[in-house]
Amino acid sequence: MPRQASADRRLATGDRSAPPAGPVRTRAAAYLGRPACIRPTTGTPSRDTGVVAVTQQLARVSAEYLAACRQSAGTSPDRDPHWDPPASDVLDLGWAPTLLQRLGEIAGLDEVHLDALRRATDGGTGLALAFLNTHPHAIAPFGPAPTALSAPQAARVSDLLGHIDMPALLDTLPTDDREAASLIGHGAANITGDPRAYLLKHFHALRDFYIDAAKRHLLVVLWWD
């Protein structure tokens, strides 16, 4: 999906449950890997603050679609892969990945399911995706290089995510919202409202996204934008 469309979708949703600060980076800090956290009052980064919200994106695509993008990048004069998966197959996971992984660690989630949670949000390195991250059509210009899970890998992750009892994990957090956010760290203190609700909502979105990918035998591409 074009970067502007991705940003416009985030601004259009007006999701006030998302962290208004989270890992927000200036364009310079993004290259240096240093988050520049802010706390805007609108719930979304303002266009005139000079700050770019870098959030995780996931897309369900077929192997054939990815091959077509690779071929397009190889034949286009400016290496344009024409990457534009349907909006219905793209998930903006916000800043939840690190928070979900941290919750799993705090709650003592077993290593098999914790690894599945990491793979669901970190992807893998088995697929060569440099063609998706070449200037001027890079899909992840302000984050790490795109990663992916093959269809069988995505199906395995889907199965394991389905066996994670997220409400039970959330019950291990302190009852006070500020104490819970402080324990999680990684910008959780910037979440508007109950951090448990934010994590539960985004975990369900992630789980359901992978369930659909598994049913349709699709692979999953992940990037930050």
pLDDT of 97 higher than 90: yes
What are the backbone angles phi and psi of residue 3, rounded to the nearest 5°? -60, -40
Q: How far is CA 102 from the centre of its chain?
A: 15
Tokens 């979304």: give the residue.
44
Q: Which two tokens stand for residue 225?
A: 């934008």
Q: Are 184 and 102 in contact (CB under 8 A)?
A: yes
Predicted confidence (pLDDT) per residue in 12-68, tens digit? 333 434 443 333 333 322 322 323 232 222 233 322 223 457 899 999 999 999 999
Average pLDDT, the chain: 82
| Cβ atoms within 10 Å of 109's Cβ, excluding its own | 21
d(C-alpha 12, C-alpha 93), whole Å = 15
| Cβ atoms within 10 Å of 55's Cβ, excluding its own | 22
According to the model, what pLDDT value does residue 52 have?
52
- Under the banding of pLDDT at 50, 70 and 90, the label for residue 132 is very high
- Under the banding of pLDDT at 50, 70 and 90, the label for residue 79 is very high
d(C-alpha 181, C-alpha 196), whole Å = 9
What are the backbone angles phi and psi of residue 129, rounded to the nearest 5°? -125, 20
Number of domains in the chain: 1
* C-alpha dist (Å) from residue 174 to 51, 63, 153, 181, 187: 32, 43, 34, 9, 17
Going by the DSSP 8-state scheme, the letter that residue 61 receives in this structure is: E
Q: How far is CA 57 from the centre of its chain?
A: 4
According to the model, what pLDDT value does residue 103 have?
97
CATH of the domain at 26: 3.40.1760.10
Cα 181–Cα 167–Cα 96 angle in degrees, nearest 5: 45
Structural domain for 145, as ranges: 3-224
